[in-house]
Every structure is written in C-alpha cells, then in structure tokens.
Amino acid sequence: MASFLDTYVAPKKEIPRHTYLAVSFVVTATILAVWCGLSYGGLVREDFLPTPGAVAGAAIAGLGDGSLAVNTAVSVTEIMSGFIIASVFAVPLGILMGSFKVVEAAIEPVTNFVRYLPVSALIPLLILWVGIDITEKIAVIFIGTFFQQLILIADVSRGVSQDLLDVSYTLGATRRDVVARVLIPATMPGVMDTLRVTLGWAWTYLVVAELVAANKGLGYFILNSMRGLFTEQIFLGIMVIGLLGLMTDQLFKALRNWMMPWATSP
C-alpha cells in the first residue's frame, strides 16, 4: 500500500490533475480568506490594508471615469514600445554574439558592465539626455530589458549544437545557409522563452520609469495614491499590473506553442 507521502510528496512525481487544482485553489482561497478576515474583521487599519470591497470600489470608480483605462493604456504603450525596440535589436545581436566570437569580443564587456547598473541610477542621465516625456519612460524600459535579453539570447545561440551546424555543411550548406536556415531557427524556442521572461521584467521597471515627471500610467497612479494614502488604489494598481503580466505571459506561452509545435514545451 502506497502511503500518502509516497503518492503526493515524491520528487518529480506526477500527482492527479484534480489534486493539483484542489491544492492551487485551497492556497489561493486561503490567502483571500486571510485578507478578508484581517480587513473586514478590523484587525488591521484600513489605510494599511483595504478591504477587497474597497479595492473593487476603486476599480469600479476607475472604470467609470475612464482613468483606469487611460493609465493602463499609457503604461502598456510605454512597456510595449521599450520592449519591442529592445527585442528588435537584442534578438539578432544576441544570436550573433553567441555564435560569432568577433561580435562577442566587441559587445560582451560593455554589456556585462551595463547589465549590473541599476536602471534607477541612470534616470538622472536619461532626463538630461532625452527629457522627461514618454521617451524617458521608454528608455528606462529599454535599458532594463535590452542588456538582459542580449546576454540570455547569446547563451541560447551558444547552446546550439555544433553537430547541427556541421551536418548542414556536409549537406552542402554555405555559411550564409547555416546562419539563415539552421542557427536562427534553432534559437527560436529559446528566444521566445527569453522574450517571455524579459517582458515580465519590463513590467517590474514600470514604477521606476514613471517615478519622475509622470502624470499618467499605472506606476504614476500607484505613487500618487500613496501620497493621499489611498491604499485601495495602490492595491488596484498592483493588481492590474499583476493581471496584465499574467495575461502577456500566457499569451507568449500560447504563441510559442502555436508557432513552434515541433519544440518541446518549457
């Protein structure tokens, strides 16, 4: 007879689907229940921890006057602009960096240096150089994601099997063929995974990006709510960011499975 431990707590062992869902549900429900208990029960002050109802109220108010939609749209625009510009450069450059030593020698030292700079430390410079309008916000997102993408994609490219390139040469491929028809397709699943992960990181730079001279956006909304101690609005902002992050993540996952049915899932 298998004991409870053998069935449910053996490393890497599958558990029944309904058990999996039940565990997820119970934990999520518990967190919500604790939140309700603490806030409705009056155990914590309301300007510390708002009630779920107050957050819902803030959401309804935000939806009603259109401010939530405007702030979300501004943030999504900033994130997507910064992220797309970063990806457009990082993907090809990263692939080259991982497979051509010349490119690696040229850009790796600089990349490794910039990669460790906290983006917030660059904000004064960015203001000086690009001003305080939306360009500055996009630049923060760009710097925050570009260098990380570059290193991760270079690793993906480095990981492409030498034998895969060699067999292509023995089938008559030229160097150009090998890059276009073998190296690039071989990196695609890894590139998609990198984009998915770094898009998540881009969201985390949002508040930093909207720290200065912003008058719209979810990061601004959170910062501004703090000044008035509108805790329920802070919660709302955080939740919207979380939900948008979750949605884009799922979207990327679906996109990868749809575009690359041949690849094994991450």
The whole-angstrom separation of Cα 119 and Cα 138 is 12
Task: Specify the residue, 58 or 95, whose C-beta has the smaller distance to another protein.
Answer: 95
Size of the site for another protein (CB under 8 A): 22
Touching another protein, residues 186-225 (CB under 8 A):
186, 188
> Two tokens at 231?
């805790």
Q: Does 179 contact another protein by CB under 8 A?
A: no
**CB-hemisphere CA count at 13 Å for 177?**
11
Tell me the backbone φ, ψ of residue 65, rounded to 5 degrees.
-90, 5
Q: Does 263 contact another protein by CB under 8 A?
A: yes
Task: Specify the residue, 64 or 172, whose C-beta has the smaller distance to another protein.
Answer: 172
Site string for another protein, 150-169 (x = CB under 8 A): -----------x-xx-xxxx
The residue whose two tokens read 């009056």 is: 42
Q: Does 133 contact another protein by CB under 8 A?
A: no
Task: Specify the residue, 148 or 168, whose C-beta has the smaller distance to another protein.
Answer: 168
Give the number of other Cβ atoms within 10 Å of residue 246's Cβ.
Answer: 12
The whole-angstrom separation of Cα 118 and Cα 132 is 19
Task: Specify the residue, 124 or 185, whose C-beta has the smaller distance to another protein.
Answer: 185
Distance set, CA 137 to CA 27, 42, 68, 130, 198 (Å): 36, 39, 19, 10, 17
Task: Specify the residue, 14 or 163, whose C-beta has the smaller distance to another protein.
Answer: 163
CB of 89 to another protein, least distance (A): 24
The contacts of residue 72 (CB under 8 Å, 6+ apart) are 218, 240, 244
Touching another protein, residues 231-260 (CB under 8 A):
260
Task: Specify the residue, 24 or 174, whose C-beta has the smaller distance to another protein.
Answer: 174
Of 1-9, 67-75, 183-191, 206-214: span binding another protein (CB under 8 A):
183-191
Q: Does 37 contact another protein by CB under 8 A?
A: no
Q: Does 3 contact another protein by CB under 8 A?
A: no
**CB-hemisphere CA count at 13 Å for 57?**
8
> Two tokens at 228?
């008035």
Return residues touching another protein (CB under 8 A). 161, 163-164, 166-173, 177, 181-182, 185-186, 188, 260-264
